[in-house]
Each structure stands twice: as C-alpha cells, then as structure tokens.
Structure 1
Amino acid sequence: MSAELIHNLPEREYHADTTTLSASGAKVLLGKRPPSQDSDALSFGSLVHVVLLEPDRLDEYAVLDPDIIGVKADGSRADNPTATKAWKDAVFAAKRDGLTVISPATLHKAQEMAMAVELHPEASRLLAAATGHEVSAYADHPSGARVRARFDLVGPGYIADVKTTFDGNPEDFGRTMHKYLYHVSAANYLDVARANGLDAERFDLICVEKDKTPGGEYRVSVLEIHPDAIDRGRELMALACDRWLQLGKRIDLPSYGPDRHVIDLPPWGYEYDDFDDIKIGGVA
C-alpha cells in the first residue's frame, strides 16, 4: 500500500482503526499501559486541542452549569446540584445527543490555556506557519507493518504536537519525554510525514502548563526533540512493529513470562531511619 494523507478524518474514526499501528499502540506494546479513555486528563487535553486547533468542533460539547441547572423541583438552590433530577436529566439529554458535558469553568480554563499558547512568540509562529491541523497520515513501515499518525500541526520543515502538562520546564522535560515515550511518537510522526512527501525535519512539542503561576499566568514552552532521542524512538517503534506483527496485528501489553519471579526491596527500602520514632504499644 502507498502512503496516504487524509484531511478532515473524524478523530473517532482515526482511533477506531485496528488495521494499522499508531504510536499510542506502539507504546502499549512496549509496556506502557494506556490512560483510560475516560480519564479527566485525557478529556481535558482533548478539549484544549479543540479550542486551539479545531474551534469548529466545540459544538460537540455541552456546556452545563450545575449551579444553574441543578436546582430542586421547586426551583430553589440545591446543596448538591449534581445529585438533582434536573442535572441528571440535562446530562442524559446531552450524552444522548453525543455531546461531551463540560462546565463553564472547564471551558474557560481551556480557553485561557489556548490563549497562552497563541500569545507565546514561538508557539504562535508555529501556529501561523502551519499548513494543516489534525491531519491523519498512513505509511508502510520497513518492518512490514502499516502505521499511522495524526499531526496536531504540520508546517514547513516541522511537525508539532500540543501537550497539556503540569511541568513544561525545558530542563526537566526530558524525564517526562522518557516516561511517556514522546520520542517514539516523534519518530513515527516524522517517518510517516516523510513517507508522504512532507518536508518534516524537526519535531516540536508545544507544552502548556495546567496550573497558573502565582502571578496568574499559564506558562508555555516550545521544545524541539533532539535527533538522538528521535533515533532511539525509531528503534523502539521498530520493536513495537515487530511485536504487533508477531501478535497477529493485535495490541496488548507484553507478558510477564511463565515463571515465578523473586522480588526484593529497592536499596532505599532497607533504610529504617524513617521508622525510628514509631511507637508500638506506646513504647518507642
């Protein structure tokens, strides 16, 4: 099969594909347990993406205020608005229509974070130069696996991904990259982009922190992933592709093996200084 770029492919359709391997699936095959699709962090990150990159999709959300909707049957204010019949009926109706329920405060926070990205000089330059948002792409991996990627931003010479994070400090983010295997995503995205004839030499992360600074600002950092890290990510992506093919194109966590394992405390677990003051039977 040949490489393929698809604009305007619905996100749900992209993620429902089981015939190709994404970087997210590769991370599972490498032992990284995926976050729950219903997790608050994942849902909020998706909302920030929509506000920043696809504002026309905001009609997929129902903005409901429990303090306004969640009242008692007589119209008086309820002590627990989300426990009222009025609130439950409103949420049921929204979900029946396929909408994601969010509060006004959640939407406002996402809008403020998106604005912080737009006001950041380098991030705004990447946004302005982008030739595509949320572009889905497919290619054949050298292993024989069919792989896919979905670019947040694609522009001249770069692919960029927007991340909501608790800490976007450039001096520490390498640890975060290692923990979440962002370099695997970067390698896959760049290789799929190049297979489709795109000029993609660099992978950038646009990070926006979830908590305001004491001064009331949402900090933003733009981080270019080092080529050496991308090379390591490419090795890991190849390993994941091999595992995927061996499993019959099925995504699953690696087995712990058939044998019994002997476990031990980590070295610091043998230090009892923290327990010296614990009293047993009233005696230290």
Structure 2
Amino acid sequence: MTTIAEPQALEAPALGLHTDLSNEDYHADKTSLSSSGARKLLPPSCPAKFRYEQDNPQPASKTFDYGNAAHKTVLGNGPDLVVIDHDTWNTKAAKAEVAEARAMGAIPLKQNEMQMVVDMAAAIRRHPLAAALLDPAYGAPEQSGFWVDGPSGIRRRVRFDWLPSMHAGRLIVPDYKTAADASNDAFQKSIDHYGYNQQAAWYEEAAQALGLGDETTELLFVVQEKTAPYLVNVIGLDYFAREIGRAKNRVAIEKFAECTDTGYWPGYADKNPNYVPLPGWAENRDKEIYL
C-alpha cells in the first residue's frame, strides 16, 4: 500500500485557454490531470508511480535534449539552445559550460547537434502538408488549456504543441513528434507503446471543452525522423483507435479522482496477488509439447 501526503499546492491557473503560460507553470499545477499523466495512471504503470513522478520531477537530461531542441527550432518556442563548442565534453571546462547552460534552463548541444535540429526544421518547411499545418502565419506554439471534467468534476489540462489561429471548417490540431523511424508501421507500434491514441482523444476533447472546435476536431501527428534526410510523415488515427483511447482516458480520469479523494495511490498489487499467465506464444508452444 502506498499512501502519500498531498504536496502543498500552488495557485492553480484559471480555467480556459492560456496563450502565454510558461511550460514550468503549466507542469507545476498538480491539481489537474494531463494526457501524459492519464497514461501514467494505467497499466503497465500505476497510480503510485504517477504520484511519485509528479512529486519528484526529473532534472533535464541528454535523453530528451534532441526532441526538445527540435521542438524549439520547428515550433519556435522552448528553452534556449546553447552550443558547447568543445571537441569533447569530458573536460572540466566543457562540463562547466554544460552545467551552466542547464542551470539557465537552456539545452546544451554540440555543433553537429545544433546543425541537425536546424536541418530538421528546414525539412519541415519543405514538406507541403507539415509546413501548412505548422505555418507561423496562422498559428502559435505551446498553448495551454484548463477545464473541468463534467462526469468526475476534476480539473483537466492540455498543452497544445501548436494551435491554429485561423481555420475554416473543422479544426485540425498538429502535434510534433521526433522518432527514429517515421514510417506507418513503426508509428503504429508507437501508438500502442506511448498511448498516442489516448493523447489524440484527450486533445480533441480539450479543443471542444475550450470552445475551439467541435466533434469534428482532429489531431494529426507530424512525425519526423532524427537522421538525415529527416523524413516527415503526417499521421492520423482511425475511429476505433481514438475511441479506445477515449475509453482508457475515462478510466484514468476516474482513477485520478478516486486517488485524489482518498489520498491512496496504489502500486501493482497492494492488497491481492496478481496471477499472470505465460505469454500466449509460450503457452501455445509448451502445451503442445508437455501437456
């Protein structure tokens, strides 16, 4: 059993759309549930892990630098990018410059890494559909929204990568992702692994709740590879993928409401053991031989 005291909450952002809320202030609101948080509440994760990560945010690391730097160059918003101009980062001087950059909230990059993200942004601008979806003349990056979920009464939040400022007909919301492989087959696996169908359903509901769109609103993923020639793929999800995501979001929302109300954030098996079968392929293999 994991019972964790609630952290002292800061003043929560007002309901509605925020065009100038910082990323830090957005993530500092622990009273509301985000799409990534909803996914962390469900298997293979659990509420205890969600609560721990909310209360113990991880410091910046090299693991996320490429994606965050690409977001900066492609979307035009995010931490400053600082080139650490040393052949190796193992020296005392280089380490000091890296630490100084991180202390300022910037992303330290090698010269070739900076060139990579600049080239990625250029590739986006050359792609007809991606360029149209992320046209700076008709939209703005990093827009935050907060609303109250009707069935549960909890606060929900969203941070759009990009929100169009003008649109005719239905609202199309692009979301930028970097990936090792942007092909349809590879991204199909990522949908399941990262819960991108939950994200799509969450963002579409957010747009409706905030009065930005209606039931025809659609989220499209702009997926870009991190190696030259930095290929781009624009991917939408089918009806059943989004409906499954919507159903999983509802379970997560109700779990968040319950845990918030009780102060109890369960782990994997706090009260009863979990009984787990063999993987299906192993069971099929072995039962033919041994049973």
| TM norm structure 2 | 0.77
CA contact (8 A) 2:60 2:102 kept: no
Deviates more, 1:127-136 or 1:30-39: 30-39
Name the structure 2 match of 1:158. Answer: 172
CA contact (8 A) 2:69 2:107 kept: no
CA contact (8 A) 2:35 2:199 kept: yes
Name the structure 1 match of 2:154. Answer: 145
Tell me if 1:131 matches 2:166. no
Name the structure 2 match of 1:15. Answer: 27
After superposition, give the CA deviation of every residue in 1:45-89 in whole Å (9 maximum; x if it has no partner).
11111111125x56x23210222xxxxxxxxxxxxx433222233
Unaligned runs of 5+ in 1: 68-80, 273-284
Tell me if 1:50 matches 2:62. no
Unaligned runs of 5+ in 2: 1-12, 287-291
Q: Distance in 2 between matches of 1:94 and 1:65?
A: 12
Counterpart selection for 2:269 from 231, 252, 256:
256
Deviates more, 1:40-49 or 1:248-257: 248-257
CA contact (8 A) 1:25 1:251 kept: no
Name the structure 2 match of 1:204. Answer: 220
Change (3 A) 1:32 1:141: farther
RMSD: 2.8
Change (3 A) 1:89 1:154: closer
Tell me if 1:30 matches 2:52. no
Counterpart selection for 1:195 from 180, 203, 209:
209
Counterpart selection for 2:83 from 63, 67, 76:
63
Counterpart residue type for residue 209 of structure 1? E
Q: Distance in 1 between matches of 2:148 and 2:163?
A: 20
Q: Identity rate of aligned residues, in percent? A: 28
CA contact (8 A) 2:33 2:156 kept: yes
Counterpart residue type for residue 75 of structure 2? L
Change (3 A) 1:3 1:262: closer
Name the structure 2 match of 1:107. Answer: 114
After superposition, give the CA deviation of every residue in 1:139-189 in whole Å (9 maximum; x if it has no partner).
111221210111112223111100001222124422211111111111111
After superposition, give the CA deviation of every residue in 1:225-280 in whole Å (9 maximum; x if it has no partner).
223322221111111111111111779675334334455653555879xxxxxxxx
CA contact (8 A) 2:178 2:224 kept: yes
Counterpart residue type for residue 26 of structure 2? Y
Q: Matched residue of 2:33: which SS?
A: coil
Q: Matched residue of 1:248: which SS?
A: helix
CA contact (8 A) 1:244 1:251 kept: no
Whichever of the two has the greater Rg, that structure is 1
Q: Matched residue of 1:93: which SS?
A: helix
After superposition, give the CA deviation of every residue in 1:193-213 in whole Å (9 maximum; x if it has no partner).
11111125111000001223x
Q: Matched residue of 1:124: which SS?
A: helix
Counterpart residue type for residue 91 of structure 1? V
Change (3 A) 1:38 1:91: closer
